[in-house]
Amino acid sequence: MSEHLRPDILGRLRTRDAEERARAAQQLCSQVTDSEAIERHGEQNPLYVELNTRLVKLLNPASDILDRLAGTAILLALVDVDSLEDKQKFRITQQTKTQLAGSEMAISNEAVAIYKKLIEKRWASVMSSVETEVNRCLEWLGSERNEVRRMTALRVIEVLCSNHLVPLHSYLTKFFATLSNPLRDQRSEIRVAAARTLGACMGLIPMSERNVRNPGLNFLYEELQRNFQMASVEGYHGALLVSQELLQHGGMYMQSHFGQVCDMALKLKEYRDPIVHKAAIALLPVLARYSPQEFTRVNTGSSESMMGRACNYLITLSRTSDRDRAAAFLALGNIAQFCSTEYR
């Protein structure tokens, strides 16, 4: 068994190919674990010591982007090593949290992936600091101008809420309030990420409490209305995104607001900005899935159901717009699937 990490594998770590980088990192970790199987040394394993020394250098903020990506690839592979001791796990956790605070989106993406895996494995070293991490994320969203950190904060909160961690229930009010600004941010990527995070947060609400009496959901609907009344690209897009999350994660809550959201989608379906236009089209099948009966019903004072108006528009769009043809066909197919029983 070699007493040193294989140089050919180390060289492959600096590739721009993410898959090749991951394979090289896994092979390095396999070399360490194979040596452990022969003679157990724990964190004193010479290969692990060498690997950690290289990790420290690779993850140094002064290192170039390829070095730091190599370092995050090693961290991600190490998380799956079963023989890690508590001190090793603590070190990996701290190194990951340091990378989360960086200002490079590529590094942030990798660090969030590692953090997600740590949470899923419920390592004590990461579970003991969940609330500290939440408060750091809330601080970044409230005052940080660095867009990478704001995006990282959104994604970390999404990871934490998606894993239904009990301590986070007490943060729901803060989450909803803090997400208000990102949901109408100037950057569409921030708005979309905030909406995904919002959906994950709503998953913490017990299903029995997802109704019109829930103060958190009422707050979100009021924010939706405020966004719509802004009459801007950011406001309209934010309103559509919040509507979609409420329909998908709000349980029975949206039954009393279904008509208003239908009207909003119809009003914005031909909006001049493509981001708002596409979001309105994407919302139509979500409405159909939420309440097929209401979607296909012809209301008093109207000669056409919501489904009729939506489908006539989508059919015309599929014939006249090369840019929107694929989205129109997808929306039509989903509406047909969700309303098949009512339509017959």
Matching residue, tokens 């009422």: 218
Residue 25 has a pLDDT of: 87
Count of Cβ atoms closer than 10 Å to residue 69 Cβ: 23
Q: Report residue 131 as tokens.
A: 């609330």
* Contact predicate 48/56, CB 8 Å: no
In this prediction, residue 214 carries a pLDDT of 94
Model pLDDT, residue 138: 95
- The pLDDT of residue 328: 92
- Cα of 4 vs its chain's centroid, Å: 39
Q: Residue 302: its pLDDT value, please?
A: 65
328: Cα within 13 Å, side-chain hemisphere = 18
Distance in angstroms (rounded) separating the CA atoms of residues 118 and 273:
40
C-alpha gyration radius of the chain: 24
Q: What is the pLDDT of residue 341?
A: 76
Confidence at residue 300, expressed as pLDDT on a 0 to 100 scale: 46
Asked if 55 contacts 74 with a C-beta cutoff of 8 angstroms, the reply is: yes
How far is residue 214's CA from residue 253's CA, in Å, rounded to a whole number? 8
Residue 152 identity (one-letter amino acid): T
Contact indicator for 282, 271 with CB cutoff of 8 Å: no
Evaluate whether 229 touches 270 at the Cβ level (below 8 Å).
no
Written as six digits, the tokens of 243 are: 């509507």
* pTM of the model as a whole: 0.90
CB 219 within 8 A of CB 176: yes
Chunked into runs of 10 residues, the chain (344 residues) has average pLDDT values of 69 88 87 68 72 89 92 91 87 94 93 96 92 94 88 97 88 95 95 97 94 94 96 97 97 93 94 95 95 80 81 92 91 90 62
Q: Give the pLDDT score at 280.
A: 96
Residue 65 CB coordination number (10 Å): 12
> What's the pLDDT at 54?
87
Q: What element of type H or E holds 9?
A: helix 7-12
| Token couple for 57 | 């250098």
Residue 82's CB is within 10 A of a number of other CB atoms, namely 6
Q: Nearest Cα to 178, choosing from 134, 208, 213, 212?
A: 134
- The CA distance from 151 to 12, in Å, is 29
Locate all alpha helices (DSSP H) within 39-123, ordered by sequence. 46-58, 65-78, 86-100, 105-121
Tokens read off for 102: 């960086």
* The residue to which tokens 């981001």 are assigned: 275
Alpha helices (H) in 250-305, listed in sequence order: 258-268, 274-290, 292-296
Rounded distance, CA 27 to CA 49, Å?
16
How much is the pLDDT for 39? 60
Burial, 17: exposed, middle or buried (Cβ in 10 Å; 0-12, 13-18, 19+)?
exposed
What pLDDT sits at residue 243? 97
pLDDT digit string (tens) for 172-221? 999 999 999 999 999 999 999 999 999 999 999 999 999 999 999 999 99
* Residues 225-259: b if buried by 16+ CB within 10 A, e if exposed: eebbeeeebbbbbbbbbbbbbbbebbbebbeebbe
